[in-house]
């Protein structure tokens, strides 16, 4: 699904050039659950922006489903984000006075999907994210933090994207609620075969993934299967 080949990203400023990523290369297969972990300033946010088609590399190539995303125009990048990638952010980004169902339907409104189909797809996405029908007509500001994040996950799922990209998705949640949200990602990966990339600076969060890529100072310093994965599952 994902091929990154010698990705370099250089930011220019009056103080000189800063290389946020330096010759980064890796592959992610369809259906993998991968965590990318690194401290502040490591380059993980820059990498997330490139993987999410929010930015392009200075040099190197990024292929998503066989298409070279690194060479696309702004309009083509917008189409990739709309059709191929589901985003989940730390801050939820829900409309507070809109219902749960309406929040999840919004991407389909922008995609000109007919109303009946929008509602049906949104309900399926919400159920897959772990919310039952009793929550569908609540306003999003009436929900707990964990419920809001699951609504955000449902919104990411509703277009049936190739890739779910989660940026610090438990950052605003307490530990117990964060575990529930991470279990939701695990279930989506195992039961529905969604490809998930989890961006985090926390080792406890990264250990919920099957594979962990460590990034520091713009370089990948480790990339390996997660040996603690089954221990985590047994505790949930």
DSSP assignments along the chain, one per residue: -EEEEEEEEEEEETTEEEEEEEEEEEEE-TT-EEEEE--TTSSHHHHHHHHTTSS--SEEEEEETTEEGGG--HHHHHHHHHHTEEEEETT----TTSBHHHHHHHHHHHTT--HHHHHHHHHHHHHHTT--GGGTTSBGGGS-HHHHHHHHHHHHHTT--SEEEEESTTTTS-HHHHHHHHHHHHHHHHHH--EEEEEES-HHHHTTSSEEEEEETTEEEEEEE-TTHHHHHHH-
**pLDDT tens profile 41-58:** 999 999 999 999 999 999
**pLDDT tens profile 172-215:** 899 999 999 999 999 999 988 999 999 999 999 999 999 999 99
Which range (47-56, 107-116, 159-168) has the least confidence?
A: 107-116
Average pLDDT, the chain: 91
Question: 2-235: which CATH topology?
Answer: Rossmann fold (3.40.50)
């Amino acid at each position: 699904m994902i091929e990154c080949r010698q990705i370099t990203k250089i930011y220019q400023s009056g103080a000189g050039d800063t290389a946020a990523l330096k010759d980064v290369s890796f592959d992610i297969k369809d259906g993998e659950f991968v965590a990318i972990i690194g401290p502040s300033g490591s380059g993980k946010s820059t990498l997330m922006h490139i993987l999410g088609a929010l930015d392009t590399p200075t040099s190197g190539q990024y292929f998503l489903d066989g298409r070279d995303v690194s060479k696309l125009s702004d309009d083509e990048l917008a189409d990739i984000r709309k059709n191929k990638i589901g985003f989940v952010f730390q801050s939820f980004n829900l409309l507070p006075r809109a219902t749960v169902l309406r929040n999840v339907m919004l991407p389909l409104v922008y995609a000109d999907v007919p109303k009946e189909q929008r509602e049906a797809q949104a309900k399926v996405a919400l159920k897959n994210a772990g919310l039952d029908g009793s929550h569908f007509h609540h306003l999003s500001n009436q929900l707990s933090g964990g419920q809001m994040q699951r609504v955000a996950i449902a919104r990411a799922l509703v277009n049936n994207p190739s890739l779910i990209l989660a940026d610090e998705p438990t950052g605003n949640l307490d530990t117990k609620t964060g575990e529930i949200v991470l279990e939701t990602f695990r279930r989506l990966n195992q039961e529905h075969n969604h490809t998930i990339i989890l961006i985090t600076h926390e080792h406890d969060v990264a250990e919920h993934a099957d594979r962990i890529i460590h990034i520091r100072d713009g370089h990948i310093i480790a990339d390996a299967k997660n040996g603690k994965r089954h221990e985590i599952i047994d505790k949930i």
